[in-house]
Amino acid sequence: MNTDPSQPARADHRPYIETVRVALLLKDIHVGAAVFNTGLVRSAAMTLLPPDEDFDEPWHHTFASAQRVELRWTEEDGWSLLALHASGDATLPTIWRPGFGAVLPPDEVTTWLALLLTMPVASASREDGPYRSHQRRDSAFEAALAAYAL
């Protein structure tokens, strides 16, 4: 626990991640339970599950053929989508990032992901992060995370 009143307390990232997870489920994007890391760099990961056979917008082949598709978040880089594909004896990762910050509104995450899963060419990956360092106190970031705990 942070006892220095001049430093912002570390906010719990789990309520934010769970809010995004519920928003995804409400948009019929099936995700598994989130796995959290509360170490030095706060992070989370959720496995994406393929849509049902009768889903109106099936996944693009890039994702439907992947061995694993995982949505990830870190406090430094924000959101990313990882697709792992087999290539001979190796597993090759492909990563997409929406950009624009570490704590995006849940509706922006769901819109980005819905578009990416069906038309990856229409959602170019942005490589403008990291957005912050876990080593520097950031009261605006901590307040943005803490807002989801209310």
pLDDT for 45-93, tens place per residue? 999 999 877 767 789 999 999 999 999 999 999 999 999 999 999 999 9
Count of domains observed in the chain: 1
Structural domain includes residue 90: yes
Whether residue 4 is contained in a domain is answered as no
What is 35-81 written as a DSSP string? EEE-SSS-EEEEEB-PPPTT-SSPPPHHHHT-SEEEEEEETTTEEEE
Give 1's pLDDT tier (boundaries 50, 70, 90). very low
Residue 79, strand partner residues: 73
* Mean pLDDT in residue range 110-130: 87
Average per-residue pLDDT in the chain?
Answer: 90
Q: Is 83 helix (H, G, I), strand (E, B) or coil?
A: strand
Using 50, 70 and 90 to split pLDDT, how confident is the model at 107?
very high
Residue 94: helix, strand or coil by DSSP? strand
Q: Is residue 1 included in any domain, yes or no?
A: no
Residue 6 lies in a domain: no
Which residue range forms the structural domain that includes residue 65? 14-149
